[in-house]
C-alpha cells in the first residue's frame, strides 16, 4: 500500500509540474502585440527581410510581434511592416538614406506625431513607424536598410527639378 501511495504522489507531482510548465510556456511565448500584415507580406522577400532584422534597434530589444512580415522594438517604439502597398508618386517628403529612398507620411506627422516612413521604388514595400517621442529615425533606417538589401530598386524619388 505504501508503494501505491508513493507512486500516486509521484504521478500527481509530475502532472502538476507538467501543467505548470505548459502554462508558463503559453504565457511566455505569447506575442507582446499584434501588427496588421500588409497585403503582400506572405512573400519570400518579406520573410527574408524579417529574418535579417536586428535583435536590437537604437538600444531597444526586439518585441514578440504577431503578424506576417512584421517586427517591432521597444514596446511599439518602432514597428516595421513588410509587404505594404507600394507608394504611387507623391509630394510627401522623400529622404535617401544610404541609397534607399524613404517617403515620410507628412499627414500622419501632423495628425498624431508619429513618423511613418515607406520605402519608395522597391517591392515589396516596407513601412517603418516611429512612435511620437522615439529617437531619431535616421539611425534606425540605416540599420534597417541592411535587412532590405535583397529588395532591388525599380524607381527612385525625384525632385521637382528632375521632372
Which secondary structure element, helix H or strand E, spans residue 19, and what is its range?
helix 2-28
- Residue 46: band (very low, low, confident or very high) from pLDDT cuts 50, 70, 90: very high
pTM, entire model: 0.80
pLDDT digits (tens, 9 = 90+) for 95-122: 999 999 999 999 999 999 999 999 999 9
Going by DSSP bridges, is the β-strand pair 125-130/78-84 parallel, antiparallel, or unpaired? antiparallel
C-alpha torsion angle, residues 40, 44, 48, 51 (rounded to 10): 80
Amino acid at each position: 500500500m505504501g508503494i501505491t501511495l508513493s507512486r500516486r504522489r509521484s504521478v500527481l507531482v509530475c502532472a502538476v509540474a507538467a501543467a505548470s510548465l505548459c502554462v508558463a510556456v503559453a504565457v511566455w511565448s505569447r506575442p507582446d502585440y499584434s501588427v496588421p500584415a500588409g497585403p503582400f507580406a506572405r512573400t519570400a522577400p518579406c520573410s527574408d527581410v524579417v529574418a535579417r532584422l536586428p535583435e536590437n534597434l537604437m538600444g531597444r530589444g526586439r518585441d514578440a510581434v504577431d503578424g506576417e512580415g512584421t517586427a517591432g522594438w521597444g514596446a511599439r517604439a518602432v514597428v516595421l511592416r513588410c509587404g505594404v502597398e507600394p507608394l504611387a508618386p507623391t509630394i510627401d517628403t522623400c529622404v535617401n538614406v544610404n541609397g534607399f529612398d524613404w517617403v515620410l507620411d507628412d499627414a500622419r506627422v501632423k495628425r498624431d506625431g508619429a513618423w511613418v516612413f515607406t520605402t519608395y521604388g522597391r517591392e515589396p514595400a516596407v513601412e517603418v513607424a516611429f512612435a511620437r517621442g522615439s529617437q531619431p529615425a535616421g539611425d534606425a533606417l540605416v540599420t534597417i536598410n541592411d535587412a532590405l538589401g535583397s529588395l532591388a530598386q525599380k524607381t527612385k524619388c525625384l525632385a521637382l527639378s528632375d521632372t
